[in-house]
Structure 1
């Protein structure tokens, strides 16, 4: 398989993984609704918007090669989406109040590493979008 066929599949997978990783505390943390609300609401738009953007990205990656839209336009849009997602995750991560992040019960200490995991997953979306755009423009 060549890059043009693999990149959108990897991009769609990276987008879904980013959404799942971002939504993990919402599913895995029992109770603590106020802490979760403060955690997800940090930053200019919060983490919930990132989940929505990455799911839109998954659809975009799938649409580009299925002939539903112009691949060149979709590739450019996906690069922009990747930059926006990485930027929003970075802003969200920087905006999390430390008292919120470190106030979860000891059974949920993994959440301290959650912003790092979301950021790495978001970078994967951006890289996949860049590889896809390059393969489309070749």
Structure 2
């Protein structure tokens, strides 16, 4: 397989997996007792969980559409790198801004959730950068 194709697939998969991992607490804990705490959890940080999901999905779409030929591939590859970096930086800002709540005491896996989201978002800019480098070389 060609390096460009592999990095494109990794970038798309990383964007989708990041969003799925980000949504896990909402899918598991969306109930009456934790509703306000879960809302605060996702609203933490500069752009919150919704912003991270938006950046991750937009990154996946841009990486997937580079070879379609509608716009200059170099421009789209650069935009994918910027969006990937924005995804990871917003995930880091979100993870550092989360305030522990009683919800964490009852669900200990939430202590690691934000760190996992950050770790899963790292391949997005890396794959986009590898794709851009191979495209422009």
Tell me the TM-score normalised to structure 2 length.
0.92
The match for 1:115 is 114
The match for 2:58 is 56
Residue 10 of structure 1 deviates from its aligned partner by 1.2
SS in 1 for 2:60: helix
What is the 5 A alignment of 1:88-99? Answer: 88-98=90-100
SS in 1 for 2:103: coil
Q: Using the alignment, how far apart are the partners of 1:95 and 1:25 within structure 2?
A: 17
The match for 1:80 is 82
Residue 46 of structure 1 deviates from its aligned partner by 0.6
- Structure 1 portions without partners, runs of 5+: none
Contact 1:7 1:129 in 2 (8 A): yes
Residue 116 of structure 1 deviates from its aligned partner by 0.9
Task: List per-residue Cα deviations over 1:46-104 (Å, max 9, x = no partner).
Answer: 11111111111111111012223321111100111111111111111111113x2x533
Q: Which runs of 4+ in 1 moved over 6 A?
A: none
Q: Using the alignment, how far apart are the partners of 2:90 and 2:63 within structure 1?
A: 20
Say whether 1:104 aligns with 2:104: yes
The match for 1:136 is 135
Q: Using the alignment, how far apart are the partners of 2:135 and 2:69 within structure 1?
A: 13
Q: Using the alignment, how far apart are the partners of 2:109 and 2:30 within structure 1?
A: 14
- Structure 2 portions without partners, runs of 5+: none
